[in-house]
């Protein structure tokens, strides 16, 4: 497969596999990534800087919700011509991510990830309800994630990593769903620095939190292992040659949710798959090279799943924000 050229830079096998590695663990040492890919640490560091400066990739460490049941997918109907204005206001909020304007410009789709029940209710029950730009609000509770956020991540690259390479890059820390670790005074400063640069070194983190580098390392490992924080890699997929995106809403028999969710998450083109509340109980985000690829994916893969009772496809016309990064055109704002 020839390298992909985009504006002023070209992606080859090393670039593609570096991006794939960062999706698996955005804080993986460059030395380990180089060893897995088969090149030097210096080459990996140089390639990362180029991709980062071009607005193609950004690593963040983000706080997890403090309670289960706080993550919601929100579909917001808006008045004609109002989508861009409302999307801009929502994108500025730390509790809003994966913000998209959908086909026709009359709907905004986002994930609400508040830090408390009060913050959730303030957005879903008060702020949106009082905004005269909004015509409808449908909130879907995320009940189980099958793909995305470190679980079967998007891998529709040329030259993706193989199974052995992926296994070698999986984080050594074991993520726990039952978080019992107490937070410490320095954690807020650590997470603030890591929201700006998820690959910040321990010396830099130590300075930000006024602790030693060794303590900074221990605290970050503890926060990740206990589930208080997670590493996420934002990728400007449109810039990298994947301009077609869509949300898929499926109605599936409850007894088949696990099986169908796993099938969708195994597709290279899915960036997110989750079981949700509402008439459509399974949703997926798809990123493809073209409408033709999207159509083939829907007819050949999704259409072959007999448990799917109904399907709605909602194309994305503008991507506004990733997990933690606002886009400037097709590039991540750094």
Per-residue pLDDT of the chain (334 residues; tens, 9 = 90+): 445 545 545 789 999 999 999 999 999 999 999 999 999 999 999 999 999 999 999 999 988 765 555 789 999 999 989 999 999 999 998 889 999 999 888 999 999 987 777 777 777 767 887 888 999 999 999 999 998 766 677 888 889 999 999 999 988 655 444 455 677 889 999 999 999 999 999 999 999 999 999 999 999 999 998 888 999 999 999 999 999 999 999 999 999 999 999 999 999 999 999 999 999 999 999 999 999 999 999 999 999 999 999 999 999 999 999 999 999 999 999 7
Residue with tokens 């304007």: 101
Query: Tokens in use for 279?
Result: 């008439």
For 237-266, letters b (16+ CB in 10 Å) and e give: bbbbebbbbbbbbbebeeebbeebbebbbe
Domains in the chain, ordered, with CATH? 4-60+161-235 (1.10.10)
Q: How many whole angstroms separate alpha carbon 258 and alpha carbon 92?
A: 35
Query: Tokens in use for 180?
Result: 């019992």
Please give the span between the terminal C-alpha atoms of the chain, in angstroms, as a whole number.
30
Q: How many whole angstroms separate alpha carbon 52 and alpha carbon 46?
A: 10
Query: Tokens in use for 183?
Result: 């937070």
How far CA 303 is from CA of 148, 154, 250, 299, in Å, comes to 22, 20, 11, 5
- The DSSP bridge partners found for residue 100 are 109, 319
pLDDT (0 to 100) of residue 63 = 84
Reduce the secondary structure of the chain to three states and give it as a string: CCCEEECCEEECHHHHHHHHHHHHCCCCCHHHHHHHHCCCHHHHHHHHHHHHHCCCEEEEEEECCCCCCCCEEEEEEECCCCHHHHHHHHHCCCCEEEEEEEHHHCEEEEEECCCCHHHHHHHHHHHHHHCCCEEEEEEEEEEEEEEECCECCCCCCCCCCCHHHHHHHCCCCCCCCCCCCCCCCCHHHHHHHHHHCCCCCHHHHHHHHCCCHHHHHHHHHHHHHCCCEEEEEEECCCCCCCCEEEEEEEEECHHHHHHHHHHHHCCCCEEEEEEECCCCCEEEEEEECCHHHHHHHHHHHHCCCCCEEEEEEEEEEEEEECCCCEEECCEECC
Query: Tokens in use for 232?
Result: 């996420």
Q: CB–CB of 219/187 below 8 Å?
A: yes
């Amino acid at each position: 497969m020839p390298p992909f050229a985009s504006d002023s830079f070209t992606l080859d096998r090393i670039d593609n596999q570096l991006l794939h590695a960062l999706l698996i663990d955005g804080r993986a040492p460059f030395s380990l990534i180089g060893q897995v890919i088969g090149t030097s640490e210096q080459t990996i560091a140089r390639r990362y800087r180029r991709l980062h400066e071009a607005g193609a990739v950004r690593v963040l460490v983000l706080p997890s919700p403090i309670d289960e049941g706080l993550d919601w997918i929100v579909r917001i109907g808006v008045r004609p011509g109002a989508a861009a204005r409302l999307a801009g206001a929502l994108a500025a909020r730390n509790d809003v991510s994966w913000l998209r304007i959908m086909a026709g410009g009359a709907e905004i789709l986002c994930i609400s990830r508040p830090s408390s029940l009060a913050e959730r209710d303030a957005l879903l029950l008060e702020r949106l309800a009082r905004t005269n730009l909004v015509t409808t609000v449908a909130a879907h509770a995320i009940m189980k994630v099958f793909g995305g956020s470190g679980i079967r991540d998007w891998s529709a690259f040329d030259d993706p990593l193989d199974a052995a390479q992926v296994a070698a890059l999986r984080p050594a820390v074991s993520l726990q769903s039952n978080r019992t670790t107490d937070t410490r005074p320095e954690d807020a400063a650590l997470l603030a620095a890591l929201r700006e640069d998820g690959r910040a070194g321990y010396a830099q983190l130590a300075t930000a939190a006024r602790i030693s580098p060794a303590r900074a390392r221990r605290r970050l490992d503890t926060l990740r292992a206990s589930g208080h924080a997670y590493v996420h890699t934002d990728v400007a997929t449109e810039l990298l040659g994947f301009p077609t995106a869509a949300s898929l809403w499926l109605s599936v028999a409850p007894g088949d949710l696990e099986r169908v969710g796993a099938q969708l998450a195994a597709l290279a083109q899915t960036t997110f798959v989750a079981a949700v509340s509402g008439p459509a109980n399974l949703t997926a985000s798809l990123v493809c090279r073209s409408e033709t690829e999207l159509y083939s994916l829907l007819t050949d893969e999704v259409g072959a799943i007999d448990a799917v009772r109904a399907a709605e496809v909602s194309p994305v016309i503008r991507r506004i924000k990733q997990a933690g990064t606002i886009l400037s055109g097709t590039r991540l704002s750094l």
